[in-house]
Chain A
């Protein structure tokens, strides 16, 4: 088993957003601006790495029957650490992400990786897996939020890209999220299927 392979698969082949299509709730909700997307991606990556390491270390002690509560406690702990530190050191980001930071607990990517990967493999491979998945989630979020922020608000990271363009508001509301994600997944599927034929 190659460690670099565990890292790279999350970026593209098993990308959590575009390929496995997990964790769509935060993806739809916070991808209204690039800074939100980036912040959410980094927070989720931290939780993924932390919980993957810990779960991988305890994988031989935890009995099959109580594994889910053990995973949830671990994940919830890391999420609370992220939430408290974000409030203390990045209050602006914490306010704009709001309820979606504590909701990382129920982000299926995190529990999904615990169940599918770190409860079966050693810690180092689990770190690679978490980093790959986390970065895959982050770049997907940044791409979606860049498209939505540019089209819906006329800005990128808060800077006006064009003053004379009146942006269609729906792009930063719920329909814009569904359209952007749907079209992106569609494009990605089209090109990867075309390559196979």
Chain B
């Protein structure tokens, strides 16, 4: 019994020290982590909607999106999309004008197979944009179809298809809701 109490006190005090250290680390890093996430989102927004000057975060029936404003006039929307990839979720953000024409597409997070599916974000040497994502520009979201107007990445048909399908589905759903 005495031994048990001794073990408990020792283990307990080590846990207490650990908790204190972690609490301090968490508090110190939290604002930085938040800021990083914000900055990442903001740079993605600028990429998919270069003409816009400001963004207002909104939500409609579970779809997170941003109104893209130039001055005070609404020039389009940026929508957050989550697609089911080959290997977990693919989180992306798409910029569309008010008619549903795609202005730009950026991947925020993906865990696709390195060298195959992860090529959706690959930039060829000497180029500025990812060649897969560039194809989406100037196309109407409702018409997107792999092999018809979007070339899939060799060896990564499932990833390519899930990006195109997720954009098509979410944007179509979003437009029908916004127009109501």
Instruction: Please list the residues of chain A having a beta carbon within 8 angstroms of any beta carbon in chain B.
Output: 32, 58, 61-63, 65-66, 69-70, 73-74, 76-77, 80-81, 84-85, 87-89, 91, 95, 98, 152-153, 160, 163, 169, 172-173
Partner of B116, one of A62, A95, A98, A169: A169
The CA of A95 and the CA of B112, in the complex, are separated in Å by 12
Looking at B11, B109, B155, the one whose CB has the most chain A CB atoms below 10 A away is B11
Residues of A within 8 Å of B155, CB to CB, are 169
Assess whether B175 is interfacial by the CB under 8 Å rule.
no
Contact assessment for A169 and B115 in the assembled complex, using a CB-CB cutoff below 8 Å = yes
Interface positions, chain B 137-180, Cβ under 8 Å from A, are 155
Give the residue name and chain of the B residue nearest to A85 (CB). B29
Q: A84-B29, A152-B115 are in contact. Are A70 and B10 (CB under 8 A)?
A: yes
Stretch of B32-40, B44-52, B56-64, B127-135 that contacts chain A: B32-40
* Smallest beta-carbon distance B74→chain A, Å: 31
* Smallest beta-carbon distance B48→chain A, Å: 19
12 extra interface residue pairs, beta carbon distance < 8 Å, beyond A73-B18, A81-B21, A85-B29: A63-B10, A70-B14, A73-B11, A74-B14, A77-B18, A80-B22, A81-B22, A87-B29, A163-B125, A169-B115, A173-B113, A173-B114
Residues of A within 8 Å of B113, CB to CB, are 173
Interface size on B, residues (CB 8 A): 25
* Smallest beta-carbon distance A188→chain B, Å: 26
Partner of A73, one of B15, B36, B116: B15
The CA of A89 and the CA of B75, in the complex, are separated in Å by 35
The CA of A15 and the CA of B75, in the complex, are separated in Å by 60
The CA of A3 and the CA of B80, in the complex, are separated in Å by 55
* Smallest beta-carbon distance B151→chain A, Å: 18
Contact with A along B1-45 (1 / 0, CB 8 A): 001001100110011001001100110010011001000100000
Residues of A within 8 Å of B114, CB to CB, are 32, 172-173
Residues of B within 8 Å of A169, CB to CB, are 115-116, 155
Count, A-B residue pairs, CB within 8 A: 62
Residues of B within 8 Å of A70, CB to CB, are 10-11, 14
The CA of A81 and the CA of B109, in the complex, are separated in Å by 23
* Smallest beta-carbon distance B15→chain A, Å: 6
Contact with A along B74-102 (1 / 0, CB 8 A): 00000000000000000000000000000
Q: A77-B22, A81-B22, A172-B115 are in contact. Are A63 and B36 (CB under 8 A)?
A: no
Contact assessment for B32 and A89 in the assembled complex, using a CB-CB cutoff below 8 Å = yes
Between-chain CB contacts (< 8 Å), 27 pairs: A32-B114, A58-B14, A62-B10, A62-B14, A63-B6, A63-B10, A66-B7, A66-B10, A69-B11, A70-B10, A73-B14, A73-B15, A73-B18, A76-B18, A80-B22, A81-B22, A81-B25, A84-B33, A85-B25, A87-B33, A88-B29, A88-B33, A88-B36, A91-B40, A95-B109, A153-B115, A173-B113
